[in-house]
Amino acid sequence: GQQLNQSPQSMFIQEGEDVSMNCTSSSIFNTWLWYKQDPGEGPVLLIALYKAGELTSNGRLTAQFGITRKDSFLNISASIPSDVGIYFCAGHKASGTYKYIFGTGTRLKVLA
């Protein structure tokens, strides 16, 4: 099935560094969601975005809904060891559409 392109696929960073990742699509979405998944756990919703250009924060996390509606970005500031995990995006097209398209995931590893 269709998947959204996420980059980078994985990254090692030092504790305290800022992290950026993005998600791109060939089609337009009306909703972008960002999740974090720890090993053996279910995905946890971090941020939901509903408007082009919208910038939303959740603690040290900030996400943006791209102006073209075809991309979204997630930033993590001052990373800590518990930020380790897989981050993935999801797009939802429009009202009346029930399906979501998921990103390929970014695996984050934080070095203490």
Partner 1 sequence: NAGVTQTPKFRVLKTGQSMTLLCAQDMNHEYMYWYRQDPGMGLRLIHYSVGEGTTAKGEVPDGYNVSRLKKQNFLLGLESAAPSQTSVYFCASTDGLAARYEQYFGPGTRLTVT
Q: Can you give the binding site for partner 1, defined by CB under 8 A?
A: 1, 3, 30-31, 33, 35, 40-45, 48, 50, 88, 90, 92, 95, 98-100, 102-105
Residue type, 93: K
Please, which residue, 90 or 110, has the CB nearer to partner 1? 90
Strand 10-14 and strand 106-111: pairing? parallel
* CB 49, min distance to partner 1, A: 10
Q: How far is CA 25 from CA 49, 70, 84, 105, in A?
A: 15, 5, 25, 14
* CB 12, min distance to partner 1, A: 20
Please, which residue, 29 or 79, has the CB nearer to partner 1? 29
* CB 27, min distance to partner 1, A: 16
Please, which residue, 7 or 30, has the CB nearer to partner 1? 30
User: E-strand spans in 1-112?
Assistant: 5-7, 10-14, 19-24, 31-37, 44-49, 55-58, 61-65, 71-76, 85-92, 100-102, 106-111
